[in-house]
């Protein structure tokens, strides 16, 4: 397209958007005039200098107007569609990239105390590793990269420099502390290069294929770092299931959410599978030696990370991951609720998304976890004991 043609196209877009905005303004004004007589005056506070100056009267009028305005959801949804189409923005600051890729604004926010937060998280992880080591249990970290790290190229928005260095710096620090860490970004990048989406376009989470790729990388690293790991082998069969509908968690920020009463929600069809153990082997040994602790990446069944780990390790794995609680609360509960005098764990896999590295937390750790530790903790302290009676 020539520059003249491109400029003409841009002018037409701007002209159309301008008239749409004027139309929405006029409709909004008309809706407000219709809503004013419908306000329930008995619900309003007494008109006085106090209610006017403290904003109480204004707040209640606004609340009544929001309830009484006709076409409110339609108007908000329509404006959202214009915003999405012309400004590549949705509700509450999500960013929309090329080919339908959506990103939450939190992936772009600057972190003023990022160095301190990284150091704090490293300290907590180190303490958990030391606590588990005292009970002859190994720890393997799985650091899930942000969606933006893999797909920043589909956006015209700049990727903050302080965010770009978080993942390599943090994972390198874990390695220096002798904590086995799965560089999940590597198998996900390989998957992306093969033409398979490592994340879902309309979700903050990885795809089923992405979860499976990371699971096999996790099993490879765990067996390499912990050669004494011993557990009953279960030769799972795999049954491919019909695709299921998945409504991405980022869809709630798009205008379609406001119009859901009038149009059908767009959903993603995602693959799924079932593990089939041979006979009753799944119940032969109740003492499952591997535990998974983590976030929604591990807890939500759609992504089947736990199943993929079972397939990769060829054994049963107990999943203690929780949705919407971050990586630290589930770990605290796991440490608190396990009987460490009579446990059967050999390995704990701790999944942690990149975005939680610099997020602020107040965490009450169980007694005995946050203690001074030796700088020479082996990555798998129970190696010499694993496999013995």
Is residue 180 assigned to a domain? Answer: yes
Looking at the fold, whether 121 and 91 belong to one and the same domain comes out as no
Is residue 51 assigned to a domain? Answer: yes
User: Quick one: which H or E segment has residue 184?
Assistant: none
Looking at the fold, whether 10 and 128 belong to one and the same domain comes out as no
Per-residue confidence at 142, pLDDT binned at 50, 70, 90?
very high
Instruction: Retrieve residue 247's tokens.
Output: 């409504």
- The 3-state DSSP class for residue 164 equals helix
Looking at the fold, whether 58 and 164 belong to one and the same domain comes out as no
Q: What are 102-133's pLDDT values in tens digits?
A: 998 888 887 778 889 999 999 999 999 999 99
Is residue 322 assigned to a domain? Answer: yes
Q: What is the DSSP string of 92-135?
A: GG-EE-GGG-EE-GGGT---TTHHHHHHHHHHHHHHHHHHHHHT
Q: How many separate domains does the chain show?
A: 2
Is residue 294 assigned to a domain? Answer: yes
HSE at residue 34, side-chain half, CA atoms within 13 A, is 13
Mean pLDDT for the stretch of residues 133-148: 96
- Mean pLDDT of the residues in the chain: 79
Looking at the fold, whether 246 and 277 belong to one and the same domain comes out as yes
Dist. CA 28–CA 69, nearest whole Å: 9
HSE at residue 191, side-chain half, CA atoms within 13 A, is 24
Looking at the fold, whether 15 and 63 belong to one and the same domain comes out as yes
**CA dist list (Å): 260 to 246, 249, 334:** 16, 15, 39
Looking at the fold, whether 257 and 170 belong to one and the same domain comes out as yes
Instruction: Retrieve residue 197's tokens.
Output: 């989406």
Q: Which one of 59, 86, 107 terminates a domain?
A: 107
Instruction: Retrieve residue 179's tokens.
Output: 């904590």
- In the predicted model, is pLDDT for residue 311 greater than 80? yes
Centre a 10 Å sphere on the Cβ of residue 381 and count the other Cβ atoms it contains: 19
Could you tell me if 179 and 131 are in contact, meaning their C-beta atoms sit under 8 angstroms apart? no
Looking at the fold, whether 100 and 125 belong to one and the same domain comes out as no
Is residue 373 assigned to a domain? Answer: no
Looking at the fold, whether 182 and 270 belong to one and the same domain comes out as yes
- Tell me which residue range forms the domain holding 167: 114-356
pTM here is: 0.76
Looking at the fold, whether 276 and 323 belong to one and the same domain comes out as yes
Is residue 388 assigned to a domain? Answer: no
Could you tell me if 368 and 131 are in contact, meaning their C-beta atoms sit under 8 angstroms apart? yes
Could you tell me if 57 and 44 are in contact, meaning their C-beta atoms sit under 8 angstroms apart? yes
Looking at the fold, whether 229 and 203 belong to one and the same domain comes out as yes
Highest mean pLDDT among 13-22, 94-103, 261-270, 379-388: 94-103
Instruction: Retrieve residue 245's tokens.
Output: 């509908």
Is pLDDT larger for residue 182 or for residue 86? 182
Is residue 32 assigned to a domain? Answer: yes
Q: Which one of 54, 75, 107 terminates a domain?
A: 107
User: Quick one: which H or E segment has residue 292?
Assistant: strand 290-293
Is residue 73 assigned to a domain? Answer: yes
Looking at the fold, whether 52 and 169 belong to one and the same domain comes out as no
- The 3-state DSSP class for residue 333 equals helix
Q: What is the pLDDT of residue 131?
A: 93
Is pLDDT larger for residue 104 or for residue 41? 104
Dist. CA 150–CA 185, nearest whole Å: 8
Looking at the fold, whether 291 and 227 belong to one and the same domain comes out as yes
- In the predicted model, is pLDDT for residue 218 greater than 60? yes
């Amino acid at each position: 397209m020539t520059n003249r043609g491109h400029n003409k196209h841009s002018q037409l877009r701007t002209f159309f958007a301008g008239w749409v905005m004027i139309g929405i303004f006029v409709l909004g004004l008309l809706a407000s005039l219709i809503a004013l007589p419908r306000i329930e005056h008995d619900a309003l506070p007494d008109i006085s200098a106090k209610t006017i100056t403290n904003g109480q009267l204004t707040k209640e009028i606004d609340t009544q107007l929001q309830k009484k305005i006709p076409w409110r959801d339609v108007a908000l949804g329509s404006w959202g569609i214009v915003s999405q189409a012309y400004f590549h923005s949705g509700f509450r600051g999500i960013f929309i990239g090329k080919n339908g890729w959506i990103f939450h604004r939190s992936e772009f926010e600057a972190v003023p105390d990022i160095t301190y937060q990284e150091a704090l998280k490293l300290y907590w992880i180190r303490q958990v590793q030391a606590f588990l080591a005292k009970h002859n249990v190994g720890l393997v970290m799985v650091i899930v990269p942000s969606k933006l790290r893999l797909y920043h190229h589909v956006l015209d928005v700049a990727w903050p420099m302080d965010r770009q260095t978080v993942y390599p710096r943090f994972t390198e620090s874990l390695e220096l502390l002798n904590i086995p860490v799965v560089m999940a970004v590597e198998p996900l990048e390989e998957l992306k290069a093969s033409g398979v989406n490592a994340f879902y376009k309309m979700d903050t989470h990885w795809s089923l294929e992405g979860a499976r790729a990371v699971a096999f990388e996790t099993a490879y690293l765990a067996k390499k770092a912990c050669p004494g790991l011993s557990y009953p082998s279960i030769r799972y069969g795999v049954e491919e299931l019909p695709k299921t509908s998945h409504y991405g968690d980022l869809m709630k920020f798009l205008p379609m959410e406001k119009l859901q009463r009038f149009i059908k929600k767009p959903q993603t069809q995602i693959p799924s599978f079932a593990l089939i153990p041979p006979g009753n082997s799944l119940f032969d040994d109740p003492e499952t030696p591997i535990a998974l602790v983590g976030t929604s990446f591990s807890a939500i069944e759609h992504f089947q990370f736990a199943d993929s780990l079972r397939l990769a390790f060829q054994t049963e794995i107990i999943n203690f991951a929780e949705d919407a609680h971050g990586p630290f609360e589930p770990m605290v509960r796991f440490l608190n609720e396990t009987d460490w005098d009579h446990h059967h764990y050999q390995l704990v896999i701790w999944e942690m998304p990149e975005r939680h590295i610099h997020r602020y937390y107040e965490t009450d750790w169980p007694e005995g976890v946050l203690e001074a530790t030796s700088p020479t903790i082996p990555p798998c302290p129970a190696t010499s004991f694993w496999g013995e009676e």
